[in-house]
Structure 1
Amino acid sequence: MVDFLITITMIGVVSWALIFMVTRRIFSKRSFEFSNRLVSTLHAIVSVSLASLSVQDWGCPLCPLASKSSPQQMKTLAFTLSYMIYDLICCQFDKRVVLDNVVHHLVTIVGIVSGLSYQRCGTEMVAALWITEISSPFLHLRELLKEFGYRDTCLNLAADVCFAIIFSLARMVGGPCLTYATLSSPNPFLIKAMALGLQLVSAFWFYKILKMMKHKLKKRSHFRPQTKSN
């Protein structure tokens, strides 16, 4: 099983890189980030779907805790591991290297490798994957719209609001619940550290999102036409 997971990961890294290069070829007039965000959107959609399919009991999505991972869960995690390795490498070739994004990738990679090595905690890790990726399509949509020329439009604001709401509910409601369940269960130390690390990164991003939405709404109110009173 370990050899099979390594194969999935290696093939995945190469596949993501090829998809990126094809995307760059098709959208040659667009930016480096544009193509990478298309790849990231594809990963988010597929990973959320795989994570949903690997839930063993929807009556209790976090059951069983601290248990042996199912084959489906490990394949899902290997799939995401391949993307995280690709994206970490790919982002280093961009003009902007964001430190918190690099930390997020490293924490995730270490956590997934640990989970696959232990072959445990599949429930917690798949739930973390679902929580962290459910808002990603809206994150990328808002940036893609800007490149298409829809910056400061109602459509872009709608994408911002959708992203902010879904991120906040997933990361700051579901996230703390999952973190508590992971920390209070007999999980390996690295899994607990990953859970806590991801939640701290999520809290930092939540703070940045609040500032972003406050700025956008304030900026939009300034451009709203004033009605004259008689």
Structure 2
Amino acid sequence: MREMAAPMLLVTCSLIFWVSLYLSFCQFNNQQHYEWNCRLVTLIHGVFIVCFSAYVGFIDGPWPFTHPGSPNTELQTQVLCLSLGYFIFDMCWCIYFQTEGLVMLSHHCLSILGIVMVLALGHSAVEVNAVIFGSELTNPFLQIRWFLRESGHYHSVLGDIVDLLFVLLFSCVRIGIGGRLLYCELTSPVPLPVVKLAGVAMYAVSWLFMLSIVKFAWRKINHKYKTWREWSRCPFHLYANGHVNKAC
């Protein structure tokens, strides 16, 4: 229990920070609704945690593909505690306002349980940190997409770019590189079976998200193609004196 005292204090401070940030947004940005302010917090967490986890994984080390199951470093613990406080806040917010479905709530539950598990075990933070990096890398694009839609700017070139980057990053990082990380986790004799099982569950949730993203991408491509075909049939003189030209 003594070893867990410091992480528990860090998680408590993190939770207080994210809740305070959200309440501050609600106070000073009260012209917007609650979900707008919550997604601002989510966007800030995503940007910060991607930067921190990237530093931990790529600079401070060790490398998650070659050292799964290695003992937790102090910096890894701090980053995980910062993220755990946010996930607890967001999980409570989503349950209270009932804004998310079963898949997203499962993702939050697995994230919380996975972080708590590696903090209690004292090892395997290296691969959990890598999973958080991959998961949160796509999150800012998801939030920007939501803000664009809410502000009426989604159906634009910027909206198309954000969607494209989100789909590419999700498929390449969370599915492609995430699959490679899971393979390294499963074939290594060091991580405990419960950690490997958690990795499989997290990757399965990513595939559930991926199926939804594929359906969305197909619908959007289909819509763009139909719009292009309609435009190509009559690219000029669509309107005459303010009325649709029926000759087209």
Q: TM-score range by the shorter chain?
A: over 0.9
Determine which of 208, 217, 232 is the counterpart of 1:226.
232
Q: 2:154 aligns with which of 145, 151, 155?
A: 151
TM, length-normalised to structure 1: 0.93
Q: What residue is the counterpart of 2:111 in the other structure?
A: 108
**CA spacing shift, 1:58–1:117, aligned 2, 3 Å:** closer
Larger Rg: 2
Give the stretch that moved more between structures: 2-11 or 214-223: 214-223
User: Which whole-Å deviations, capped at 9, do the CAs of 1:173-221 have from their partners, x for residues lacking one?
Assistant: 1111111111222212331122111100001111110110111122223
CA contact (8 A) 1:51 1:126 kept: yes
Stretches of 4+ moved more than 3 A in 1?
56-61
The answer on whether the counterparts of 1:62 and 1:123 sit within 8 Å (CA) in structure 2 is no
Whether 1:195 aligns to 2:217 is no
Q: How does 1:1-230 map to 2 (within 5 A)?
A: 1-55=3-57, 60-185=63-188, 186-224=190-228, 225-228=231-234
- Give the C-alpha shift of residue 95 in structure 1: 4.4
Count of matched residue pairs: 230
Contact 2:66 2:184 in 1 (8 A): no
Contact conserved, 1:111 with 1:190, CA < 8 A, in 2? no
Q: Distance in 2 between matches of 1:129 and 1:59?
A: 15
Bigger shift: 147-156 or 118-127? 147-156
State the 1:106 CA deviation. Answer: 0.8
Task: Measure the CA separation in 1 of the matches of 2:42 and 2:63.
Answer: 29
Q: Give TM-score, length-normalised by structure 2.
A: 0.86
Which residue identity is paired with 2:217? M
Identity in percent: 23
Q: Distance in 1 between matches of 2:195 and 2:63?
A: 20
Q: Structure 1: which amino acid aligns with 2:219?
A: H
| Whole-angstrom CA distance in 2 between matches of 1:119 and 1:59 | 15
Assess if the C-alpha contact under 8 Å between 1:108 and 1:194 holds in 2: no
Hey, what's the Cα distance between the residues in 1 that align with 2:107 and 2:46? 15
CA distance in structure 2 between the partners assigned to 1:94 and 1:27 by the alignment: 19
Q: Mark the runs of 5 or more structure 1 residues left unpaired by the alignment.
A: none
Unaligned stretches of 5+ in structure 2?
236-248
CA distance in 1, matches of 2:119, 2:128: 10
